[in-house]
Structure 1
Amino acid sequence: MTTKPDRRRNLFREGHLSVGIVLPIRDGEGDEVDFRQQVDLAALADDLGFDAVWVRDVPLNGPWYPEAFGHPDPFAMLGALSLATRRIAIGTAATVLTLRHPLHIAKSAISLDRLAPGRFVLGLGSGDRREEFDAFGEDAADHKQLYRQHWTELSAALQRPPRILHQAAGPDMAFELRPPAASDIPMLAIGSGGQTLEWIARNAAGWVTYHRPSAVQRDRYMLWRSAVARHAPGQFRSFSTGLRLDLQTDPAAAVEEIELGYRTGTLGLSRILQEMRDTGVHHVLLNLPPNGSLAQDRLTTIARDVLPALTPAPQG
């Protein structure tokens, strides 16, 4: 059996910035999510040279949630993406770790690791909507403890060989998780999960944070590097940023701050991404809100006018 190259190595490298997209992407504000279209967009991103495609995890909607459209189950969607793509990394951004059983997450993660060898990344968040905790019978006040507890159980289950921390009494009742993961699946902390940077540096392969103004983000990166140096000395820990991008059709459109990102054209975007690279960001997750332009046109424009100056040739 031929060993597949580990495409995740292209995502997180010192001195380089890789670019991914976050699904779902809609063309207009009133559009529902066409799940099959999302698969097609991921295949297009793969062909265009993007480095990763990420899928969000939104279990429930309601009047308390700002988005009225429905989201696909992330693991079902990633299963489809694993077979519709060849090169691009695929990941969750972010699985709500507190509201899913860690063994179910482990089983899904291992399945994706085998469907898309060397391409799956597991992003984990704590959830920030109290109403969802109520629906799942959990207390939002416990989210910090649940996050740590579920992380520990999930991490053990993804080891090779897997470890099931809660075993039944007696050797004849021992539990096994088969098959094991085919590779070391990176577990990324998306947001803080209510944890300290020190805890994240010790336990996660990397940290994904939301966009902040440049000076603030630079300070966050320096805090992260300090935490890694003190609590994971000699180990590489990635630093990634989620960026909301309202891409304008005019390449020279001015750079304008919006919530969690920018409104600009490709020239402004190129400058923004180059600055992010130079300040230590390893990967950016582009979230493209609907603005009337077709999603495939925006992806094609970014790939043609922005990516060539940023992304090195893939390895392997």
Structure 2
Amino acid sequence: MGLAALAEELGFSAVWVRDVPLNGPWYPEAFGHPDPIAMLGAIAARTFRIVIGTAATVLTLRHPLHLAKAAITLDRLSGGRFVLGLGSGDRREEFSAFGADSGDHKDLYRDHWMRLAAALEQPPRILPPPAEPAVAFELRPAAATEIPMLAVGSGGQTLEWIARNATGWATYHRPPEIQRDRYALWRRAVDRVAPGAFRSFSVAVRVELVEAPSAPAAPIDLGYRTGIRGLATVLEAMRDAGVHHALLNLPPTGARPAETVAALATILPALD
């Protein structure tokens, strides 16, 4: 919570919390992750302006009505600052633990998305399960604002489906030439199914910041190892290529997190 408050003070636009329900030997990170809904509730109470979001809630493993209730609560607690990032999940072990079939993740994602979106409408709609009679349930309180639903990854859907149903698409870091192609595909999809509408394009980047400020950016898995000036160059190139927002994933490296966040803030003015 303290880091989120510091990020707000230093001018960052958003703070994101990941959703990792379970850990095990099959998962590459040894450290645990707090529940994103509870964590963002605490962050909402400590901040005033910064956007708070999930990147990403595992939509396939959460009931859409529970998630709608949580999203509305977070949005009201934060004064309309909440963005709901939604992923389909990609670890078979987690699906098994939750009694779900990972082979169904595409259909689950699409079905849960539609039920969640309906529940977040103003006024909300509660969609009955297939072959079940409609019942006049109400969701109270209803959403006070339009809560953005961001697709994180593809969820097994087409870009046209994402452009039609989501307020934006967040994807993972890839080499610049590949990312430019993905952005072009995204713009074409938006133009086909939502002409004239704004649909954001965001990229999650893993950043291992080194002490030498001028250290050039060296590729690592899903990101770069670089000095602060090298990172500025990377982010400027991403902006010029059409990226609206970069989600920086800062793995534990032994450095003090507050010092890393403060160093990152020094390059923000160049990215306006």
After TM superposition, the score normalised by the length of structure 2 is: 0.97
Give the superposition deviation at 1:169.
5.0
Give the superposition deviation at 1:118.
2.3
d(CA) in 1 for partners of 2:120 and 2:197? 19
Q: How does 1:39-54 map to 2 (within 5 A)?
A: 39-54=1-16
Please say if 1:154 is aligned against 2:116: yes
- Which residue of the partner structure matches residue 23 of structure 2? 61
Runs of 4+ residues deviating >6 angstroms: none
Please say if 1:224 is aligned against 2:186: yes
Give the superposition deviation at 1:86.
1.1
Paired letter, 1:56? R
Partner of residue 279 from structure 1, selected from 235, 241, 257 = 241
- Which residue of the partner structure matches residue 228 of structure 2? 266
d(CA) in 1 for partners of 2:118 and 2:6? 35
Q: Deviations over 1:238-288 (max 9, x none)?
A: 000000001111110121011100111111111111111111000000001
Paired letter, 2:270? A
Paired letter, 2:58? V
Please say if 1:308 is aligned against 2:269: yes
Query: Percent same amino acid among aligned pairs?
Result: 69
After TM superposition, the score normalised by the length of structure 1 is: 0.84
Paired letter, 1:88? I
d(CA) in 1 for partners of 2:218 and 2:28? 23
Please say if 1:131 is aligned against 2:131: no
Q: Structure 2: any 5+ residue segments left out of the alignment?
A: none
Contact 1:96-1:127 within 8 A present in 2 as well: yes
Q: Deviations over 1:206-244 (max 9, x none)?
A: 000000111000000000000000011111100000000
Please say if 1:115 is aligned against 2:77: yes
Give the superposition deviation at 1:149.
0.2
- Which residue of the partner structure matches residue 260 of structure 2? 298
Give the superposition deviation at 1:67.
1.6
- Which residue of the partner structure matches residue 94 of structure 1? 56
Q: Deviations over 1:163-212 (max 9, x none)?
A: 00118858xx5210001111100000000001111111111100000001
d(CA) in 2 for partners of 1:248 and 1:308? 21
- More RCO (CA 8 Å, sep 6+): 1
Contact 1:53-1:91 within 8 A present in 2 as well: yes
The Cα RMSD (Å) is 1.2
d(CA) in 2 for partners of 1:85 and 1:248? 29
User: What secondary structure does 1:69 align onto?
Assistant: coil
Q: Which moved more, 1:265-274 or 1:89-98?
A: 265-274
Q: Deviations over 1:119-170 (max 9, x none)?
A: 1000000000001111111100000000000000000000000000118858
What is the aligned residue count?
Answer: 270
d(CA) in 2 for partners of 1:65 and 1:195? 24
**Cα 1:104–1:249, aligned 2, differ >3 Å: closer, same or farther?**
same
Contact 1:246-1:289 within 8 A present in 2 as well: yes
d(CA) in 1 for partners of 2:82 and 2:31? 26
Partner of residue 208 from structure 1, selected from 154, 170, 179 = 170
**Cα 1:106–1:268, aligned 2, differ >3 Å: closer, same or farther?**
same
d(CA) in 2 for partners of 1:220 and 1:84? 36
